[in-house]
């Protein structure tokens, strides 16, 4: 019996050894095919784009490279490799992912949609309300792009500006009131509602105020305000938790209800606009999307809800977190805040409120926002893959060139954080220097917060309009400072900066806690 058991064990060990040797040889062949310089290889057991990579965003050394390694490492792994690309080789299953921070190569990849398509299966989890422009490729994407692009027009931009002003004035007059100082334990408590209220008005044509409680209409169990609020805060919960588990707790049932209610509201808004005898003059995205799709009978109500939701998803946390980081940076760098205030005052010398027509004049507001986007890029990475065996010529700071050979199907991660911290394009990249964006020759190819190529974010002007309006209104009326707390009284500027700007990757780069004081000027 013992002899039989020993033979089984020996056979099993021999089999596993053969498998290990075979996998090692396959690994060596893959490395030889890619042909990248040896310092650029990072080998782990599992792929960084696997489920394990999502579950462990910080990564596990030798096991999996986590998503947040792009944020914590910034440009370090490329500096160590000596090339503006690294190759992450995973053993189970055997494969490789190339990570790029070379703007020239990124432009080649993003402009060649046939050679480097988007792996839409990775984004299907965002089709919660229907297919959409993000989770599509090929002819379907072209259809969505053709219909969606005209909805982001100048009339909608003016609506965004005007609604942003109203929302900020409502905050100043009816929430903060006559107080000379407003202390916030976390600035996200105002930036999330600002972004949500602007989106509600500009995307759905529904205004939401800071304090008014919405009534729940007949046939609904949740107000529109509560539904849209819950959905925007719990997208990751809905993506990760299976449908059958959403009924297990009171909290999860509320999340499920919010998604059901928002879908009902969107379908009702669509029906109201479709059957209205007299078309109202509206400039919100929903109305524009319906008008743009009139000539395409294949564009269904579910296509409308799917794309409107994507506009909501793409524009909420990204804007809210960027504004939060912007306020934090201005509070830390008082000289930059003063320069911004003086430039705003020079544009508004007559004392009037900023108008949409004046938006191009707020050059320093845009520079401050761009520098914040560079330092805290919401969309930290985006992915393509090679549709065929292909070659990418990667460079380094010394001017060297090297061929990286990509087998068909190789995932390509475009690391926007790495690009934004690449010292070849950004002098002292760790420093907050808005003036770098006032130079007419600033490196546009190395600035990718909205993606690049034909699939770049079509909502860029939406963000810029809302953010410039909100930032300009805040700085015009209030001076922003870091909240003083006794336990941090002896910290250095570096320690304070690290604490206030501490962040993590969830769906976007998310500030941990930004305690601020807004003092009336």
Per residue, the 3-state secondary structure of 453-514, as one string, reads HHHCCCCHHHHHHHHHHHHHHHHHHEEEEECCCHHHCCCCHHHHHHHHCCEEECCCEEECCC
Give pLDDT, residue 140.
92
Q: Which residues of 140-164 are buried (b: 16+ CB within 10 A; e: fewer)?
A: bbebbeebbeebbeeebbbbbbbbb
**Residue 402, strand partner residues:** 394
Rounded to whole angstroms, how far apart are CA atoms 133 and 308? 10
pLDDT classification of 479: cutoffs 50, 70, 90: very high
Residue 10 corresponds to which tokens in the numbers above? 């020996």
Instruction: Please tell me the least confidently modeled range out of 211-220, 402-411, 462-471.
Output: 211-220
Give pLDDT, residue 73.
86
pTM: 0.92
Give pLDDT, residue 359.
97
Instruction: Please tell me the least confidently modeled range out of 55-64, 412-421, 431-440.
Output: 55-64
The owner of tokens 């299907």 is 124
Judged against a pLDDT cut of 90, whether residue 46 lies above it is answered with: no
Tell me whether residue 457 is annotated as binding: yes
Residue 194 corresponds to which tokens in the numbers above? 């600002």
pLDDT tens string 161-176? 999 999 999 999 999 9
Judged against a pLDDT cut of 70, whether residue 358 lies above it is answered with: yes
Radius of gyration of the chain from Cα atoms?
25
Give pLDDT, residue 19.
79
Spatial contact of 371 and 328, defined as CB atoms under 8 Å apart: no
Q: Where are the domains of the chain?
A: 25-120+380-436, 143-378+449-520
**Residue 44, strand partner residues:** 90
143-378+449-520: CATH topology is Cytochrome p450 (1.10.630)
| pLDDT (mean) for 3-31 | 78
Q: Work out the percent of the chain whose per-residue pLDDT is above 70.
A: 96
- Mean of all residue pLDDT scores within the chain: 91
Instruction: Assign 136 to helix, strand or coil.
Output: coil
| pLDDT (mean) for 312-321 | 90
Instruction: Assign 230 to helix, strand or coil.
Output: helix
């Amino acid at each position: 019996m013992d002899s039989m058991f020993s033979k089984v064990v020996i056979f099993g060990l021999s089999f596993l050894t053969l498998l290990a040797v075979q996998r090692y040889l396959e690994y060596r062949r893959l490395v030889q095919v890619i042909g990248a310089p040896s310092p650029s290889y990072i080998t782990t057991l599992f792929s960084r784009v696997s489920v394990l990579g999502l579950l462990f965003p910080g990564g596990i050394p030798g096991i999996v490279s986590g998503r947040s390694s792009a944020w914590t490492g910034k440009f370090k792994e490329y500096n160590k490799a000596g090339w503006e690309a690294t190759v992450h080789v995973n053993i189970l299953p055997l494969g490789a992912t190339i990570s790029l921070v070379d703007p020239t190569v990124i432009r080649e990849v993003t402009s060649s949609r046939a050679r480097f398509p988007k792996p839409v299966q990775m984004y299907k989890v965002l089709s919660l309300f229907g297919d959409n422009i993000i989770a599509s490729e090929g002819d379907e994407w072209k259809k969505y792009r053709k219909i969606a692009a005209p909805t982001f027009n100048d009339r909608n931009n003016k609506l965004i500006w005007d609604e942003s002003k109203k929302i900020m004035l409502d905050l100043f007059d009816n929430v903060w009131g006559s107080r000379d100082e407003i202390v916030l334990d976390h600035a996200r408590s105002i930036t999330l509602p600002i972004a949500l209220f602007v989106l509600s008005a500009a995307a759905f044509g529904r205004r939401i105020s800071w304090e008014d409680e919405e009534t729940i209409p007949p046939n609904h169990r949740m107000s529109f305000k509560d539904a849209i609020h819950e959905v925007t805060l719990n997208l990751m919960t809905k993506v990760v938790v299976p449908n059958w588990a959403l009924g297990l707790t009171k909290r999860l049932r509320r999340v499920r209800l919010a998604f059901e209610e928002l879908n009902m509201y969107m379908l009702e808004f669509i029906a109201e606009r479709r059957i209205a005898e007299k078309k109202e003059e509206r400039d919100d995205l929903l109305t524009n999307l319906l008008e743009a799709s009139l000539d395409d009978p294949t564009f269904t109500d579910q296509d409308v809800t799917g794309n409107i939701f994507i506009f909501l998803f793409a524009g909420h946390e990204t804007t809210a977190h960027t504004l939060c980081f912007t306020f934090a940076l201005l509070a830390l760098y008082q000289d930059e805040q003063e320069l911004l205030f003086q430039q705003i005052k020079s544009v508004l010398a007559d004392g009037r409120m900023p108008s949409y027509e004046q938006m191009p004049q707020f050059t320093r507001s845009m520079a401050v926002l761009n520098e914040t986007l560079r330092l805290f890029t919401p969309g930290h990475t985006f992915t393509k893959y090679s549709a065929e065996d292909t070659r990418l010529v990667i460079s380094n700071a010394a001017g060297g060139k090297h061929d990286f050979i990509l087998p068909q199907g190789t995932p390509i991660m475009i690391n926007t954080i790495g690009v934004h911290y690449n010292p070849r394009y950004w002098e002292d990249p760790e420093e907050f220097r808005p003036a770098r964006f006032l130079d007419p020759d600033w490196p546009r190819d190395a600035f990718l917060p909205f993606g690049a190529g034909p699939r770049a974010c079509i909502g860029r002007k939406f963000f810029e309009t809302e953010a410039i309006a909100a930032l300009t209104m805040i700085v015009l009326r209030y001076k922003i400072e870091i909240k003083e707390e006794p336990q941090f009284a002896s910290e250095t500027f570096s320690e304070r900066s690290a604490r206030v700007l501490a962040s993590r990757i969830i769906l976007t780069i998310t500030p941990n806690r930004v305690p601020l004081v807004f003092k009336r000027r």
